[in-house]
Structure 1
């Protein structure tokens, strides 16, 4: 299956998965109170940190070692990763059981112990699920990957709706997430077993953990940047304001999710591509293409999402629109750092990236504690923007020092200039328009700018058409005059 076909399947899967999830937001915001929705978000934050801790960076270690291994050694590495993941899940279950009462006490809203148990099951299963799903991506099994994830999303959404209608409240969301994760884990068991030599292989554990530990520390540091903000908002401004901010975060996260079809194909293939002839040039081109995609999608979302939120959400959440635009800028900077970061994955260790993330996390924590109690939501956004800009510069310098690549920076600068111009035009015209007209205007400007990017060759969507026309011309016999 070619890269385009894989990306199409990934796109379908992500649109279905996240589309179903986002379609549930208007329903949830009208079914739950603002305080309940904010409380639910605090559980999501707890799930995020748990998933990071118990995954231990094994997926990144798979990118590094399984992607370049062959034959029996490859099967042993896969077995080792999965066996470690099972061991971490067991350790996590014991740790959660021992600390359950303490977790209940420290959360910003009141929860029952059984609710945390329901939350813990998907967290512990996530590592077992991510190993086979990563293997599917590495083996270009995009169709199967898509089918399984879409099935999980639909099951989760259906269960949530049914249980909500039965009056289960927050429990409906927790039960649905738990049961859908169990379904996906069971559906992947056979495939995972076929990929391994035998369960319980631990011979390469030191190598895998040595690579995964800095990734884990880096991921926890990133969580301190993108998770601690919401904990502090819940503490200092209340779960109601956290609910508004959470809506903005969820819609701003559409940006990396829309880019995921490309990322899901490209990230596992970066190292193998680099080792091919002319690989450095190809990697540089793909990285800049990812940055351009990011800027263009962010621009289109900034033109439409604020007015869309005003149309679909209750009035209590309308302030989320402007916050979403600011967070789109933050996510653009963050994703640019991810795409321009090939060098940090080329060595035997990921410590350089780890120390960058630790430093940025320290800056973020200091900024949050200093400004959030006084300035609330906008202090959070400002700290995020500043920290991710510093991260981008440090990541780029570190990556280039390890593996210098010739990036075409002129391309993303042109893309950024056009995007800012388009957004400024929309802001100039839209204040005099009704909300629905503002939404339509944003869509028209977005489509026009995409056409411009395609015409300039920044978006290579016209390349297949040009190549087909050129091949037809070559295949036509030349007439003899």
Structure 2
């Protein structure tokens, strides 16, 4: 199967999974109080860090080693990765058993032991699930990968709906996540066994773990930026404010979801593009296309999402609208860092990103502990924006020192100036309007901004049309 159809399947799968989750938010927020939703978010944060720690970066090790081997050696490496993942899961279960009391006392929100046990099941089997799903991606089984993940999302949504209707509250949401993960693991057992043929091979563990540790450190550092903020909100400000922030985060992440199809195509192809004729210019232009798309899409969402939240969610969640706008701007900065870092992947420089993330994580931790107790939600936003701006500058400087690219900086400057102007003008015009009229006004402003950016050649529609016309002319000349 070719790369484009593969990317289409991945895009469909991701959009369906995230879409189901987002569509459930208006329903869940009407079934759970602000405090209950904040408590649920605390459990999600615990699940996130548990998944990072007990997965131990083995998926990245598979990309590195399994993808370059064949035959019996490949089966042994797969068995080694799966066996390590199983051992980490057993270790995690034992650790939970002996530290349950201390963990409950440490958490910012009080939970019952049975709730943590239910939560631990999907955490501990996530690594066992990730390995066969990763193999499917490596073997171009995008359709099967998509089907399984969408089925899991739909089953989880259905169980969540039923249990909330029966009045189980947070417990119902946890049960839905647990049951759907167990069913996915059972569905993957046969495929995983066919790939490895045996269980218990550990002779290559030292090589694998040596590669995994920097990945684990980098992933943990990223979590310190995007997870510690919510822990401290729950501790210092309360779960109600955490719930508002969690809603804003989920809607702001739509930016990455919309950009995912382009990212799925560009990121695997950027190094190959660099090797082409005029590859440096192509890479610079295509990277800036991703940056500018992020800015424009963030603007479109900033113009519409706050009014949508007012229409879809209970009044107690409406404060999330302003936070969402700020987080969209921050995510646009983060997206720019993701695209303008090609040099960090050139040669033997892959660890440069790890050190940048460690430095940014240290800055974030210090900032959160200083600002969150004093400024609450907006303290988190200020630190998060500062961290991602610092990350962008560091990635750009390091990348350019390794692989200089001639970026057309005029385009992103025009994107920012136009977007900021459009947002402020929209906010001024929409002050006396109802949420529905504000939404319509936002759509009109978004369309007008896109037309202006096309006219300014920031969005390269002219170049695309010209290249297509040129290609059609060549085909016509050949046929005639």
Same fold (TM over 0.5): yes
Aligned-partner Cα distance in 2 for 1:283–1:70: 32
Aligned-partner Cα distance in 2 for 1:146–1:460: 31
Indicate the SS of the match to 2:425.
helix
Aligned-partner Cα distance in 2 for 1:90–1:29: 35
Q: Provide Cα deviations, 1:32-59, integer angstroms capped at 9, x if missing partner.
A: 1111111101101101111111122233
In structure 2, the partner of 1:180 is 180
Q: Which moved more, 1:390-399 or 1:322-331?
A: 390-399
Aligned-partner Cα distance in 1 for 2:102–2:267: 38
In structure 1, the partner of 2:5 is 5
Q: Cα distance, 1:117 vs. partner?
A: 1.1
Within 5 A, what are the aligned runs for 1:32-71? 32-67=32-67
In structure 2, the partner of 1:304 is 304
Within 5 A, what are the aligned runs for 1:30-429? 30-67=30-67, 74-196=74-196, 198-270=198-270, 283-346=283-346, 350-429=350-429
Cα distance change on mapping 1:290 and 1:472 into 2, 3 Å: closer
Q: Cα distance, 1:227 vs. partner?
A: 1.2
Q: Provide Cα deviations, 1:129-182, integer angstroms capped at 9, x if missing partner.
A: 223333333444333222221111110000000011111110110010011112
Q: Cα distance, 1:125 vs. partner?
A: 1.9
Aligned-partner Cα distance in 2 for 1:80–1:455: 56
Q: Which moved more, 1:24-33 or 1:65-74?
A: 65-74
In structure 1, the partner of 2:434 is 434
Q: Provide Cα deviations, 1:298-354, integer angstroms capped at 9, x if missing partner.
A: 111111111110111111111110000111111122222223334444466854323
Q: Provide Cα deviations, 1:419-463, integer angstroms capped at 9, x if missing partner.
A: 223323322321132111111121222234345555666556787
Aligned-partner Cα distance in 2 for 1:463–1:78: 46
Aligned-partner Cα distance in 1 for 2:458–2:199: 47
Q: Which moved more, 1:191-200 or 1:100-109?
A: 191-200
Cα distance change on mapping 1:277 and 1:155 into 2, 3 Å: farther
Q: Cα distance, 1:274 vs. partner?
A: 5.6
Aligned-partner Cα distance in 2 for 1:183–1:325: 37
Aligned-partner Cα distance in 2 for 1:81–1:473: 53
Q: Which moved more, 1:249-258 or 1:187-196?
A: 187-196
> Is 1:64–1:345's contact at 8 Å kept on the other side of the alignment?
no
Aligned-partner Cα distance in 1 for 2:133–2:289: 25
Aligned-partner Cα distance in 1 for 2:398–2:50: 29
What is the count of residue pairs matched by the alignment?
480
Aligned-partner Cα distance in 1 for 2:236–2:319: 18
> Is 1:247–1:320's contact at 8 Å kept on the other side of the alignment?
yes
> Is 2:303–2:446's contact at 8 Å kept on the other side of the alignment?
yes
Aligned-partner Cα distance in 2 for 1:263–1:447: 23
> Is 2:54–2:127's contact at 8 Å kept on the other side of the alignment?
yes
Cα distance change on mapping 1:62 and 1:467 into 2, 3 Å: farther
Cα distance change on mapping 1:73 and 1:301 into 2, 3 Å: farther
Aligned-partner Cα distance in 2 for 1:375–1:260: 33
Q: Which moved more, 1:321-330 or 1:421-430?
A: 421-430
> Is 2:4–2:265's contact at 8 Å kept on the other side of the alignment?
no
> Is 1:353–1:395's contact at 8 Å kept on the other side of the alignment?
yes
Aligned-partner Cα distance in 1 for 2:454–2:89: 47
Indicate the SS of the match to 1:476.
helix
Cα distance change on mapping 1:396 and 1:81 into 2, 3 Å: farther
For structure 2, the residue ranges without an aligned partner over 5 or more in a row are none
Indicate the SS of the match to 1:432.
coil
TM value normalised by structure 2: 0.90
Q: Cα distance, 1:281 vs. partner?
A: 5.4
Q: Provide Cα deviations, 1:389-409, integer angstroms capped at 9, x if missing partner.
A: 111212222333344444444
Q: Cα distance, 1:465 vs. partner?
A: 6.3
Q: Which moved more, 1:31-40 or 1:391-400?
A: 391-400
Cα distance change on mapping 1:208 and 1:94 into 2, 3 Å: same
Cα distance change on mapping 1:383 and 1:96 into 2, 3 Å: same
Cα distance change on mapping 1:375 and 1:407 into 2, 3 Å: same
Aligned-partner Cα distance in 2 for 1:397–1:208: 31
Aligned-partner Cα distance in 2 for 1:429–1:268: 43
Cα distance change on mapping 1:405 and 1:62 into 2, 3 Å: farther
Cα distance change on mapping 1:187 and 1:367 into 2, 3 Å: same
Aligned-partner Cα distance in 2 for 1:25–1:189: 32
Aligned-partner Cα distance in 2 for 1:461–1:148: 37
For structure 1, the residue ranges without an aligned partner over 5 or more in a row are none
**CA RMSD, 1 decimal:** 2.9
> Is 1:330–1:388's contact at 8 Å kept on the other side of the alignment?
yes
